[in-house]
Amino acid sequence: MSLDSLKSAIPDYAKDLKLNLGSVIGNSDLPAQQLWGTVLATAIASRSPIVLRELEPEAKANLSPEAYTAAKAAAAIMAMNNVFYRTRHLLSDHEYGTLRAGLRMNVIGNPGVDKVDFELWSFAVSAVNGCGMCLDSHEQVLRKAGMDRDTIQEAFKIAAVIEAVGATLDAEAVLAAQ
């Protein structure tokens, strides 16, 4: 399917989401690999079958096989890391922060694509998953690599819109089935 069919499925009461979806993807200044990797990683992170089913084919068509795999890897590793580090951060016992994580995260060091792209995708997934510690960490890496705030904001705008579209369409599917 496609971005257009996803937009057409958005109900009238969520017209802003429809417009925003077209804007954040259709008018993005991100290079194609960064854009479509962000779209794919955040579609996975949204946990919305509808959003993933509609956006994955277009993302796959716009990404190299390596970038496609790396975007999925960013969603996978951040699904784990966001829960782990968010929990560590939220616990009032800060001693957990001194303990060794003991979790394998090799893909972060060798993602198979430019590390800045992988960091951007990891950042966007962290926005969906709400991990402030991961957001800060990835944002600092991106800024040190020379990425400006406008570009970084593009990634979390995409994340916000894709998450909202998923929540809306999944709710509509449940309500329609009643």
The residues carrying an active-site annotation are 131, 134
Let me know: does 25 contact 158? Beta carbons within 8 Å.
Answer: yes
State the CB neighbour count (10 A cutoff) for residue 115: 16
Let me know: does 119 contact 37? Beta carbons within 8 Å.
Answer: no
Exposure of 3 in the CB half-sphere (CA atoms within 13 A): 21
**At what angle are helices 115-129 and 65-90 packed, to 10 degrees?**
50
Q: Is the dihedral angle over the CA atoms 5, 7, 8, 10 positive or is it negative? A: positive
The residues near 52 (Cβ < 8 Å, ≥ 6 apart) are: 43, 44, 46
